[in-house]
Amino acid sequence: MKILFIATANPFIRSGGGMANYAYLKAISAVFPKQVDLALPSEEIPKNSDYNYVAIRTRTWVEKCLGIFKGSIHRYKESVSEILANNKYDLCVINGGHYAGDMVDMLHYHGCKVMVFNHNFEREFQTTAYSNPVMRYYYVKNTIKNENRSYKKAEVNCFITEEDYRLFTSVYGETNSACYVVGVFDPFSETFKDYQNKYKTFTAVISGSVNADQTVDGIRDFHDNYWELLKAIVPDCKLIFTGRNADRLYSIFPDFRDEHIEIIPNPVDINEIVSRAHIYICPINVGGGLKLRVMDGLKMGLPILTHKVSARGYEPFVDKDYFAVYKDKDSFEKGIRKLIEIVHDGVKEDLIKSDYSTIFGTQSGIDRFKSLIEKITSKHLL
């Protein structure tokens, strides 16, 4: 079987989309070794890698203008058409229905079956991803069109969470496509290190890219509603913000120039930064899908306090004593006090890491994907 894997985010950089693309790429390459071509924007192709690449070129300005009118919201379609004209593929794997939707008919025309990984319910994500109302209207409108088409026409649709699958069926209706909830996994988990750098003062950490509106919105909610509450509960607490361009937070929230707050932008090793803390907080309160940043805390063995929106996809952890979910000030206080007690009694980091590896570890993810492929091929869907 010859497979075209279309990476819709750079799998070789640390980001939510990049991590998901790399996980799926790693899994499908393990199942079909030496049978996968990786389609990646030309400027993102690394010089040294084990993968066979096909380049996604930059669109001409004419193609961009036509794309705007046609509702083609990405650069892949023109290049994929050229790739298919010169290569024969049996299967195309794409992360994101809003990418797959306007290519699925073209792929079928060339005799290529389509497998889509729905990274989230993209319609929900796009609703909160753009602050500009014109951009939001345009992207949401075309996302709905393409995501619906992909969901209805692809041979296989995979979902990260049960909630995403429920949203697809409730909004877009039933489909003849084979649908599976497969989750995601950490493709880097085998490279974990143990750090001995815990701060003495009780410390919480928040990670994420400050380039993303959803991250800023979540931090704004934390700033407006929970930061003073946390300081009231733990007066001498310390809070770390880390991630891409985290220093932008100083201009967005001037009062973050506070002795209690440490902001570490663009960390070389985010695991080392996260491991300094005693608990991990995920304040993201908008959007859909699984918030991969929660994994930053779990894989370092930290107890978790997360907004209920970001608890989606972490159902196996919800009943763990080290995992707390909040939706308002009362539940936030209850969660913080519970985690403080756990920290005081001694966090069982090895237990948290073991639970994490069982559910999100690299090998468990690949094994889960192999089982999925066996199930799909037994039904002659691929």
Q: Both tokens of residue 54? A: 């096909």
Buried b (16+ CB within 10 A) or exposed e, 251-260: eebeebeeeb
pLDDT of residue 141: 87
Measure the CA–CA gap between 51 and 21, rounded to whole angstroms.
14
Measure the CA–CA gap between 352 and 330, rounded to whole angstroms.
25
Query: What's the number of CA atoms in the CB half-sphere (13 Å) around residue 23?
Result: 31
The per-residue pLDDT of the chain, averaged, comes to 90
Identify which of 286, 291, 137 has the alpha carbon closest to the alpha carbon of residue 221: 286
Residue 231: which pLDDT band, with cuts at 50, 70 and 90?
Answer: very high
In this structure, the answer to whether residues 163 and 263 fall within a common structural domain is no
Is the predicted pLDDT of residue 381 greater than 90, yes or no?
A: no
pLDDT of residue 191: 62
- Contact by Cβ (8 Å): 139, 126: yes
Summarize the confidence of residues 243-269 as an average pLDDT.
93
Q: Hey, is 285 helix, strand or coil?
A: coil
In this structure, the answer to whether residues 266 and 135 fall within a common structural domain is no
Is the predicted pLDDT of residue 376 greater than 90, yes or no?
A: no
Longest dimension (CA), the chain: 65
Buried b (16+ CB within 10 A) or exposed e, 319-349: eeebbbbbeeeeebbebbebbbebbeeebeb
Is the predicted pLDDT of residue 16 greater than 80, yes or no?
A: no
Buried b (16+ CB within 10 A) or exposed e, 171-192: ebeebebbbebbbbbbbbbeeb
Q: Which residue is it, tokens 């279309």? A: 6
- Contact by Cβ (8 Å): 150, 168: no
What are residue 61's phi and psi, to 5 degrees?
Answer: -65, -30
Is the predicted pLDDT of residue 312 greater than 70, yes or no?
A: yes
In this structure, the answer to whether residues 289 and 333 fall within a common structural domain is yes
In this structure, the answer to whether residues 137 and 65 fall within a common structural domain is yes
Calculate what percentage of the chain has a pLDDT beyond 90: 65
Calculate what percentage of the chain has a pLDDT beyond 70: 97
Q: Taking phi first (over 0 means left), then psi (-120 to 50 degrees means alpha), and beta for anything else, what does residue 301 get?
A: left
pLDDT of residue 328: 97
Q: Both tokens of residue 257? A: 């120039």
pLDDT of residue 339: 96
pLDDT of residue 133: 78
Is the predicted pLDDT of residue 94 greater than 90, yes or no?
A: yes
- Identify the residue with better confidence: 112 or 20: 112
In this structure, the answer to whether residues 120 and 254 fall within a common structural domain is no
In this structure, the answer to whether residues 176 and 199 fall within a common structural domain is no
Summarize the confidence of residues 58-68 as an average pLDDT.
86
pLDDT of residue 68: 80
In this structure, the answer to whether residues 246 and 124 fall within a common structural domain is no
- Contact by Cβ (8 Å): 123, 168: no
Q: Both tokens of residue 380? A: 């002659």
In this structure, the answer to whether residues 153 and 206 fall within a common structural domain is no
In this structure, the answer to whether residues 118 and 177 fall within a common structural domain is yes
How many domains does the chain fold into? Answer: 2
> Which residue range(s) make up the domain with 169?
3-185+362-378
pLDDT of residue 196: 83
CA trace torsion 35, 39, 42, 47 (10° rounding): -30
Lowest mean pLDDT segment, chosen from 47-56, 82-91, 106-115: 47-56
In this structure, the answer to whether residues 90 and 203 fall within a common structural domain is no
Measure the CA–CA gap between 158 and 373, rounded to whole angstroms.
11
pLDDT of residue 128: 65
- Work out the number of other CB atoms within 10 angstroms of the CB of residue 305: 26
Lowest mean pLDDT segment, chosen from 71-80, 185-194, 199-208, 209-218: 185-194
Measure the CA–CA gap between 250 and 257, rounded to whole angstroms.
7
In order of 23, 73, 225, 275, 328, the CA distances from 222 in angstroms are 30, 32, 5, 21, 10
* Tens of pLDDT, residues 75-87: 999 999 999 999 9
In this structure, the answer to whether residues 60 and 158 fall within a common structural domain is yes
Query: Which CATH number does the domain housing residue 228 bear?
Result: 3.40.50.2000
Is the predicted pLDDT of residue 380 greater than 80, yes or no?
A: no
What is the CA angle 68-70-76, rounded to 5?
75
- Identify the residue with better confidence: 168 or 190: 168
In this structure, the answer to whether residues 151 and 180 fall within a common structural domain is yes
